Structure 1
Amino acid sequence: MNVTLFSLLLLLSTGASAETQPATHQTRVFCDQPIGCIKPMLAGASLGGNALSYQKPEAVAAARDVGIRFVRLEGVTGAYDLYDPNTGRYDWTRLDREIENIQSTGAEIIADIMYTPKWLSRESSGEWYYAEPADYQKWAEYVAEIVRHVNHERKYGIKYWEVWNEPSGGYFFSAWHQGRERFWRLYEVTARAIKEADPTALVGGFGDNMDYPEEFKAFFEFGKQNGVPIDLVTVHWYAEWWPGDGPERPDLYYHLSRQIEALYRSYFEKTPPIFLTEWNLNAEHPIGTPVQQAAFVGSAYFWLQESPVLGAGFFRLEDYKGMGRAMLDGQFGLRPAGRVVKMFASLPSQRLSVCDMPSGMVMLAGRDEDRIAVMASRYELRESAGPIRQQIVLKNPGRKGECQVTIYVEDAGTADASGDLKPLSRTTITIDGDDLALPAVDLERYAVALVVVEFAKR
């Protein structure tokens, strides 16, 4: 073979090989630069009305395993058959059991006052549970009795109380079509009843689309003008709600919640706790694939960490309408989104500074005394984008000697599986300098990686 032909073949083969190699990117994590805390209550679940998930031992075990730290207990006034008007007796059995099971996992509860019981509803047929109370005095007494039982008799210490769920569409609160003032009345009576029963409780609402600033403005104006307590704000956001490119914008969790926070401050001159009591990529319609959903969830966690949101309830823990987009499948096994929630929940509490994140990727890093973990989420919508070979360099980890590095990846190769996180690799590395370059990992367009470095316990 002549030299010219050999050189040409070598050049072609080298070029082809280069085209198949992922681009390499190096990201620095500054282990000696703490920048606050990873917010634990972002790893939360919204159970959904009448789900009764924490009545089921399998769901409780799964939630404990994931590390759920915040639970929206929806429909407290209607989902538990608390009161029998024929006998005048309360039966707290189911509500107490669910609260105790949630608290046994270490999760904080936000109790959602929603659903009008049939015996108190203005409507006797149809969707009576979405109607106004027929007697607001009896409604106030009923709500106050629930709060007294929960926080005084049983001493469960539930601090956060939310009033209703998405009233503005007129579906979950049928009287909205007669004017939003009908809901403001329900809110005022409910909020005052909660505070009367437990003055230390924090109450707010109204669990609605956070891209409806006109409704939140009216809500805050009503509260300000009438001295009605609004101690906290609850919002919802599903990417499919945004017209056009919502599924492309996990950053909207940051931008929209910041606007709600600023609007509240303009009326009350203080910063409220904000809870995202429902969120997901999709609400009523499946969008994309399970791996796209998982990557969206991972990216959204970065923006939620940056946002003023204190706690976030992923909707839902159990399957909803057969869409397969909950944390768990029908056998209580973890789906891709559930494994990503578990990745976030496993991050150590002290947040670390991360520099040089590649385009289309976001990262969160945390540490405790014996562990450093980095969660890298790639949600790259460009179809032309290829894989990235991502390497993380720990700057000044402050430890010497051996450490174990475990890498988990959620991508197209794992998305069809049900069950726990499984390590992609586990290696032992010796630290003998100021920096530690971790093994590189290849990430596709839609992928979430968790890299965990464990040191010998001191």
Structure 2
Amino acid sequence: MSEILSDSWRYCVGTGRLNLALRADYLESLAMMQKDIGFRYVRGHGLLSDDMGVYRQSVVDSKAHVRYSFTYVDQVFDRFLELGIRPFVELGFMPTALASGPETVFWWKGNITPPRDWGEWAALVSAVVRHLVDRYGIEEVRTWPIEVWNEPNLPQFWKNADQKAYFRLYETSARAVKDVDAQLQVGGPSLSPGADEWWEPFAEFVARRDVPVDFVSRHAYASGPAQHVPFGTYQTLASPQSLLDQFAAPRKYLASTALASLPVHITEFNSSYRPDNAIHDTAYQAAYLAPVLVGGADLVDSYSYWTFCDVFEEENVPTSVFHGGFGLLTHRQIPKPAYHLYTFMARMGSQVLARGDDHLVCEDDNGRVTVLAWQPVGGTDAPDAEDRHSVKLSVPMSGPRAFVRRERVNEHDGNAFAAWRELGRPRSPDTKTFDLLRDCARPVASHQSLSIVDGMVALDLVLARHEVTFVEVLPVHTEEHAGLDDRRLLGVSDDRLVARW
């Protein structure tokens, strides 16, 4: 029985803080992404931060009155569902009026302190979840994972990285969720890379106190310390295998615990953890991520790319259309090479025929065969990639001939970042330049007719530097057209009837 291609690579995708989903550019990017790729869930920070306006306090005659407001939450989640994507709910950050301290993270100041009143925090979580159930229905909301906080092992995201306080936050939140409905999904601890020492204490705590846990979550990044330049960052990069090793870590560290059999969600991953590292805009990024997308399904239940678009403001408002943002799309919907990697994956066949270090081959029930191939790259310490990389494959096909179509993305083709540099790096392109950049972002396509020999089609793919390529092979069913003779066309001879690749 053939292996079915997992779609865990598009189970979830990341986003900037949820308030950004009120913007037109954001929604246009999300609609485009859903049309071309079709993610199932979207996860972002800031559901409970002040700019979403959920926890409101009004002081009248020295008495504080609290109201929960869902004006913005409803707009955001309604639009998500209209676009065919569900929220992967993250509980955070702390509303200022409920916070125990002034410490914040990011330009938009998400509060990272524990609640000043744990009972009020539990009531807030319960109110949010009950509202979602009332608005969208219990059967729907039961499909939404609810994650408690973000990277509490880092002092930037949780005051003092206080493990004991986070465990209390997790327990309080998980019980509040389950008090609404026992079948709702809740999990954590949403650890950053380098925090695997948290797994055993977390597993021991929830087991000892019988705290609900339906899934565990972790993040994965492969970059070294930031080397800052004005409005940008450079970093060293480990190999793509390092991301896969991080994917495997939760099951490794939880193997002997009560949490061993739980689903594992990588709720953020990327090459760099910085939103201003130009590696995200390059063809190298696509080649780097290709083996991660293909191999990640063997290790975890989902792995969420961080993020789908550059409408993102952790380090303030971006100063240039290309600025090294996390997104698969720039502002104003210019696809980056990594976006094309995802669209190629979305077009792969449903059944796996072959996998290798530089390729994935699939087929559909109708005989269509698809190939994703890439030039392997290895990070900072690896030798520089060659100018060419050869992938030779033989794929099954019925009939005498096959139609073969290929799309390429590399350092030149399908690469708007390269075109932008050639244009002089305009920070704020005009409308015509945006159109030009989108046009240059299209993968370069070619096609040809190949002979089928003994039920196989030989593919000799020569990839350019840092290329990711998509190939579609279709059986040809020739139809008769009485009187048709292409040799009578001016400029067409017998040896040109078959297009060259």
Q: TM-score range by the shorter chain?
A: 0.7 to 0.9
Output the amino acid matched with 1:263.
Y
User: 1:277-426 residue pairs with structure 2 within 5 A?
Assistant: 277-284=267-274, 286=277, 288=279, 290-320=282-312, 321=315, 322=318, 323-325=323-325, 326-354=327-355, 357=356, 361-370=357-366, 371-380=368-377, 381-383=382-384, 385-395=386-396, 397=397, 399-400=398-399, 403-414=402-413, 415=415, 416-417=418-419, 418-419=437-438, 421-426=442-447
Supply the distance in 2 between the matched residues of 1:327 and 1:121 (Cα, whole angstroms): 34
Supply the distance in 1 between the matched residues of 2:259 and 2:152 (Cα, whole angstroms): 26
- Shift of the alpha carbon at 1:48? 2.5
Supply the distance in 1 between the matched residues of 2:23 and 2:476 (Cα, whole angstroms): 39
Residue by residue, what CA displacement relative to the aligned partner does 1:38-82 show, whole Å, maximum 9, x if unpaired? 224436421022452475331222221331413113322225212
1:43 and 1:299, CA in 2 relative to 1: closer, same or farther beyond 3 A? farther
- Shift of the alpha carbon at 1:90? 3.6
1:400 and 1:347, CA in 2 relative to 1: closer, same or farther beyond 3 A? same
- Shift of the alpha carbon at 1:97? 2.6
1:262 corresponds to which residue?
Answer: 252
Supply the distance in 2 between the matched residues of 1:273 and 1:403 (Cα, whole angstroms): 42
- Shift of the alpha carbon at 1:254? 2.4
Query: Are 1:52 and 2:20 matched, yes or no?
Result: yes
1:299 and 1:421, CA in 2 relative to 1: closer, same or farther beyond 3 A? farther
SS at match of 1:169: coil
Query: Are 1:250 and 2:240 matched, yes or no?
Result: yes
1:272 and 1:302, CA in 2 relative to 1: closer, same or farther beyond 3 A? same
Query: Are 1:162 and 2:147 matched, yes or no?
Result: yes
**Aligned partner (choices 17, 26, 36) of residue 66 of structure 1:** 36
**2:9 touches 2:293 (CA, 8 Å); kept in 1?**
no
Output the amino acid matched with 1:329.
T
- Shift of the alpha carbon at 1:186? 0.8
1:109 and 1:456, CA in 2 relative to 1: closer, same or farther beyond 3 A? farther
Output the amino acid matched with 1:282.
S
User: 1:54-203 residue pairs with structure 2 within 5 A?
Assistant: 55-56=23-24, 57-69=27-39, 70-78=41-49, 79-86=51-58, 88-123=66-101, 129-155=111-137, 156-157=140-141, 158-176=143-161, 179-203=162-186
Query: Are 1:437 and 2:458 matched, yes or no?
Result: yes
1:402 and 1:314, CA in 2 relative to 1: closer, same or farther beyond 3 A? farther
Supply the distance in 2 between the matched residues of 1:40 and 1:216 (Cα, whole angstroms): 23
Supply the distance in 1 between the matched residues of 2:330 and 2:262 (Cα, whole angstroms): 35
Most deviating of 316-325 and 301-310:
316-325
1:198 and 1:52, CA in 2 relative to 1: closer, same or farther beyond 3 A? farther
**1:253 touches 1:307 (CA, 8 Å); kept in 2?**
no
**2:19 touches 2:46 (CA, 8 Å); kept in 1?**
no
Supply the distance in 1 between the matched residues of 2:11 and 2:400 (Cα, whole angstroms): 33
Supply the distance in 2 between the matched residues of 1:301 and 1:77 (Cα, whole angstroms): 31
Supply the distance in 2 between the matched residues of 1:384 and 1:166 (Cα, whole angstroms): 34
1:324 and 1:455, CA in 2 relative to 1: closer, same or farther beyond 3 A? farther
Count of aligned positions: 414
**2:221 touches 2:243 (CA, 8 Å); kept in 1?**
no
Unpaired segments ≥5 residues, structure 2 = 59-64, 227-234, 420-436, 478-501
Query: Are 1:448 and 2:439 matched, yes or no?
Result: no
- Between the aligned residues of both structures, percent identity stands at 21
1:119 and 1:106, CA in 2 relative to 1: closer, same or farther beyond 3 A? same
- Shift of the alpha carbon at 1:134? 0.9
1:302 and 1:246, CA in 2 relative to 1: closer, same or farther beyond 3 A? farther
- Shift of the alpha carbon at 1:130? 1.0
1:99 and 1:348, CA in 2 relative to 1: closer, same or farther beyond 3 A? farther
**1:38 touches 1:350 (CA, 8 Å); kept in 2?**
no
1:402 and 1:152, CA in 2 relative to 1: closer, same or farther beyond 3 A? farther
- TM (norm. structure 2) is 0.75
Most deviating of 193-202 and 58-67:
58-67
**2:167 touches 2:205 (CA, 8 Å); kept in 1?**
yes
**1:205 touches 1:233 (CA, 8 Å); kept in 2?**
yes
SS at match of 2:292: helix
**1:379 touches 1:445 (CA, 8 Å); kept in 2?**
no
Residue by residue, what CA displacement relative to the aligned partner does 1:122-148 show, whole Å, maximum 9, x if unpaired? 125765711111111111111111111
Residue by residue, what CA displacement relative to the aligned partner does 1:298-342 show, whole Å, maximum 9, x if unpaired? 232123133224242333422545433421112122112222222
1:149 and 1:315, CA in 2 relative to 1: closer, same or farther beyond 3 A? same
Most deviating of 95-104 and 156-165:
95-104
- TM (norm. structure 1) is 0.81
1:260 and 1:124, CA in 2 relative to 1: closer, same or farther beyond 3 A? closer
Supply the distance in 2 between the matched residues of 1:454 and 1:193 (Cα, whole angstroms): 53
SS at match of 1:277: strand
Most deviating of 165-174 and 280-289:
280-289
Supply the distance in 1 between the matched residues of 2:12 and 2:474 (Cα, whole angstroms): 25
- Give the alignment's Cα RMSD to 1 decimal: 2.8
**1:379 touches 1:447 (CA, 8 Å); kept in 2?**
no
1:194 and 1:402, CA in 2 relative to 1: closer, same or farther beyond 3 A? farther
1:203 and 1:43, CA in 2 relative to 1: closer, same or farther beyond 3 A? closer
1:255 and 1:77, CA in 2 relative to 1: closer, same or farther beyond 3 A? same
1:118 and 1:248, CA in 2 relative to 1: closer, same or farther beyond 3 A? closer
Most deviating of 59-68 and 285-294:
285-294
SS at match of 1:100: helix
**1:151 touches 1:198 (CA, 8 Å); kept in 2?**
no
Unpaired segments ≥5 residues, structure 1 = 1-32
User: 1:234-249 residue pairs with structure 2 within 5 A?
Assistant: 234-241=217-224, 247-249=237-239
1:256 and 1:230, CA in 2 relative to 1: closer, same or farther beyond 3 A? same
